[in-house]
Amino acid sequence: MNKIGRLLGIFVATAAFLLVTKSSIFAATLQLTSAGGTSVGVLITINTTDTTPTLVGTASPEATVDITIDDLTVAVLADANGDWSYTPITALSADSHGLALASNLETLNYILQISGDSSTTTTTTSSSTTTTTGGIGGATESSSATLPVSGGVESTFIMVVGGIFLMGLGLVTQQMVPAVQESEELFLEETTKE
């Protein structure tokens, strides 16, 4: 019985170690710190007058960061410290542009608002968005969603599920040990009678 208990203990300890190690590997590291001289912070909409805004951010060391502006995707490589930057070669039009960053399992989405008027200083710091789409016969459908400020939802979900699994495994092990011990004792009694 001691062997089974030890093996289950080693399994649970190994699973916990792997879960903690994996979660630190997937910790949210992708960030956009500035765009066109505008500090990003918790902004979802980034306003600038720079038509070739330099994007500056951080990611995992030496990770590839995919940057998508509208339909154009480029890849940049973070340095050994995780720092990266990118400046579009072609000037962007004075308009709203979708900006998406992706690295490893993390993604960040922004709206890059290029204005031709240098007096525009509005910023959006809300982390919610409302989308309205046209439906059949002119009907509209509206939905609201809260956007995460930084990627990391997947890591949190993995941690919660892994924790629940390990707690359940611990309960099952605790329930099984006395039953296995009893059956082992009965087996030993039967074999010694013969």
Please give the pLDDT value at position 40: 82
Between these two residues, 73 and 15, which has the higher pLDDT value? 73
Please give the pLDDT value at position 3: 65
Output the pTM of the full model. 0.50
The total of structural domains in the chain comes to 2
Please indicate, yes or no, whether residues 77 and 127 belong to a single structural domain of this protein: yes
| pLDDT tens by residue, 101-129 | 999 888 899 999 998 765 434 444 444 44
Please say whether the beta carbons of 40 and 106 come within 8 A.
no
| pLDDT tens by residue, 145-184 | 444 444 455 566 677 777 788 777 776 676 666 666 777 7
Please indicate, yes or no, whether residues 117 and 181 belong to a single structural domain of this protein: no
Please indicate, yes or no, whether residues 60 and 96 belong to a single structural domain of this protein: yes
Q: What are phi and psi of 66, to 5 degrees?
A: -90, 125
Please say whether the beta carbons of 32 and 85 come within 8 A.
no
Please indicate, yes or no, whether residues 44 and 126 belong to a single structural domain of this protein: yes
- Give the side-chain half-sphere CA count within 13 A for 166: 18
Please indicate, yes or no, whether residues 33 and 70 belong to a single structural domain of this protein: yes
| Average pLDDT over the chain, rounded to an integer | 73
Please indicate, yes or no, whether residues 140 and 187 belong to a single structural domain of this protein: no
Please indicate, yes or no, whether residues 169 and 146 belong to a single structural domain of this protein: no
Residue 46 has pLDDT above 60, yes or no: yes
Nearest-angstrom CA–CA distance, 15 and 8: 10
Going by pLDDT thresholds of 50, 70 and 90, the confidence category of residue 93 is: very high
Please say whether the beta carbons of 99 and 69 come within 8 A.
yes
Please indicate, yes or no, whether residues 42 and 121 belong to a single structural domain of this protein: yes
Please say whether the beta carbons of 56 and 40 come within 8 A.
no
Q: Which domain holds residue 33?
A: 29-150
